[in-house]
Structures are given as C-alpha cells and as structure tokens.
Amino acid sequence: MTYVLAAGTFLMGTTEFVVAGILPEIATDLGVTVATAGLSITVFAIGMIVGTPTMAIATLKMPRRLTLSLSLLMFALGHVVVATTSDFALVLGARFVTALATGAFWAVAAVVGAKAAGPDSSSRALGIVLGGGMLANVIGVPLGAFAGQAIGWRGPFWALAVVALLGAVIVHRLITEEAEDGPAPSVRAELASLRDGRIWLVLAGCAIVCGSSLAAYSFISPLLTTTGLTAGSVPFVLAIYGIGAFIGSNLGGHLGAQRPYAVLFVSATMTFLVLACLCLFSHHTAITLVLIALLGMFGMSTNPVLIGLAVRYADRAPTLASALSTSSFNFGTAVGSWIAGFALDSALGATGPVLVGTVVASLYFVPLIFLRRKERSRSNAQLRMPEPVA
C-alpha cells in the first residue's frame, strides 16, 4: 500500500516542479517573461495552500480510496487543459485546479500511509510516501524538462494526464478500505486537534523549509545558464538535485523515527549553509553542482519528520493536521518563489532567488527551538504527575 501511494506522489511531485526545467520554453511560447511564467509554480502552490485543508474537510467522510481515485482523475483533467491552451490565464487556472487535486491526494495519502505503518514507524512510512515526490525530482522532473525541450513543453503535461488516468484505476483496485478503530471522522474533532500549539510550530517549520530551498530551486534554470551550462544540461542538473532529495527524504524519515529533533536541527543548519555557499560560489560550475545535490538532500530531509510530528500531535484526528502540513509546505513555496521572482528581475539577477532562500532559511531555527522547548516542558510535566492510586 505504501509504495502505491508513493507512486501517486511521484506524479504529484513531477507536475509541481516540472515547470522549473521548462520555464524559458513556456515563456517564449505564451509570450510572457520567465519571471511571469514562474507564476505557474506560485499559483500551483497557492492552490495547494487553499485546497489541501478544504479538500481534506470536504472529503473527510468519503472512503479514502474514492478520494484518492477522484483526485487523480481531476489531476488528469487539469493537465489536459494546460496541454491544449495558449491562454496563460487559463494555464494558471488549470494549474490551480490541478493543485486542489494534488492537495487532496497528498493529505489523504499521508494519513493512510502513517496509519498503515503504526505510530512507531509513521515517519519511516511517510519517508517512503513522500519519497515518491522526491523520486519525481530524480526521474519525473528531469525527463519532463528533457521532453519539454525536445518535443515542446506541452508533451510532459499530456504524459502526466495519461499516467494519472491509469493511476486512478490502479489506486481504486489496490487500496483497500480498512475499518476505523476509533470514532467516526468529525470536523469538530479535526478542529479540536489543532489546539495543541506544537502543531502550529510544526506548520511554521513546514513553510520555512520549503520557502528557503524552493525559492532557489524554482529559478534554478536561469542560475545554471549563468554558470556557463547550456539549456540542454539543465535536466541532468535537476536529476542531481532529485537524487539528493530522494536520499534526504528517505534518510530523514528513517532517522527521524528515532531522533526527530536531531534530524530537524542538523538539516536546518546544513540548508542554511548550503544556500549561503551557493550565493558565494554559483559562478563555479563544479561547486554549484555539489551544492545543488546537498540542497536537495538537506532541504527535503525534514519533510517526513515534520508531517509525522503533525500527525502524531493531532492524535486521533490527524487528517486536517496532515492537510495543513502540505498546505504550509506550499505556502512557503508560494511566498518564496514569488519573492524570488522579484529578486530575479532585480540587479541581483540569477543569484537573487538563492539569496532569498538563504534569508528564509535563517528563520527555520525559530519554530524548531520553541517546538523543542514545548516538547521538553510537556515531558517534564508528565514526569512530575503523581502515580494513580490503585
């Protein structure tokens, strides 16, 4: 089951960031600037911000298998629209609708994966599920960028639509509905689960980690071409980032099951340092390639840990907490890529988005420190509680 869900997140991860590798082609064909074409990433992220919690609540009482299947069908429809229009406004609208479907799939997939693995292995299972999204950066995004350059940027969208239709059938057949061992899903219970302040600190961390790394990644193509690399080499560099992200997501999920805070703090420190070094050494091709791989590894390693913590803190009503985690990741992506677009058009040029990411990465320690303090205070309070009298 976990690997079926990972295949679904592979599709979702591919569509979110395949645009990063073909921004110049989209801009040229639709008659907009590269920075404006980058709005297709921002709008997708906004769709997930709004759509993930909304769809999670709207489908709360639906069978999870049906939710996952319908999400893939809506996903396919959105891609057909993008592949057949030359109206940039309609492209943005279709990307928004596709994001709603993606948000619904990710939120439900995270809960299904975590529950199937059990509380002690939820981070590890989420590492596998989210690893599908990271694998998209290894295979899906680079292949999409290569195909977009070879046969036109619409080709990858047609391919994603077809695969999503097949995926809907497979998911409906292979995902089984399991009996709930607790009370029936309730919107009130889901909202009540958000009273734990630790969840909101986790959500802040989700937004910051994606806002930092993806501000740089969203405009990686212009950065690479300024180092002397040709446009044809961009897909291979995207694959390097994806390999790092895939390793980081799985390793972070595995280690985070035992030592979540160690993973969070080490990854936060390394993400900041990698982005700072990328600002300084982006004119050196070899160093840039190494730093991009490290950015993928450390920038994405905390995602399964953060979602695992959100689901755990929400206890028996985790769907909305999981959805808000995905929403927060994309809030960070939307804000980071939006600001990075302005930085790209400024005197900073291609280094601007990396500088934006570095500044955002420095904020990551704030929610982590408060989260760790809250966790310790809660643990100490539990230790001081008197033993119940028999």
Instruction: Please state the domain extents for the chain.
Output: 2-176+186-382
For domain 2-176+186-382, give the fold.
Growth Hormone; Chain: A; (1.20.1250)
Lowest mean pLDDT among 57-71, 274-288, 313-327: 313-327
CB atoms within 10 A of CB 383: 7
For 368-384, how does the pLDDT look when each residue is reduced to its tens digit (9 = 90+)? 999 988 888 877 666 56
Average pLDDT over residues 251-264: 85
Q: With 90 as the cut, is the pLDDT of residue 282 above it?
A: no
Q: With 80 as the cut, is the pLDDT of residue 322 above it?
A: no
What is the band of 123 on the pLDDT scale with cuts at 50, 70, 90? low
pTM tops 0.95? no
Q: With 70 as the cut, is the pLDDT of residue 185 above it?
A: no
Which has more pLDDT, 55 or 287? 287
Q: What is the rounded CA–CA span in Å between residue 224 and residue 231?
A: 8
Average predicted confidence (pLDDT) for the chain: 82
Q: With 50 as the cut, is the pLDDT of residue 195 above it?
A: yes
Average pLDDT over residues 14-31: 84
Q: With 80 as the cut, is the pLDDT of residue 193 above it?
A: no
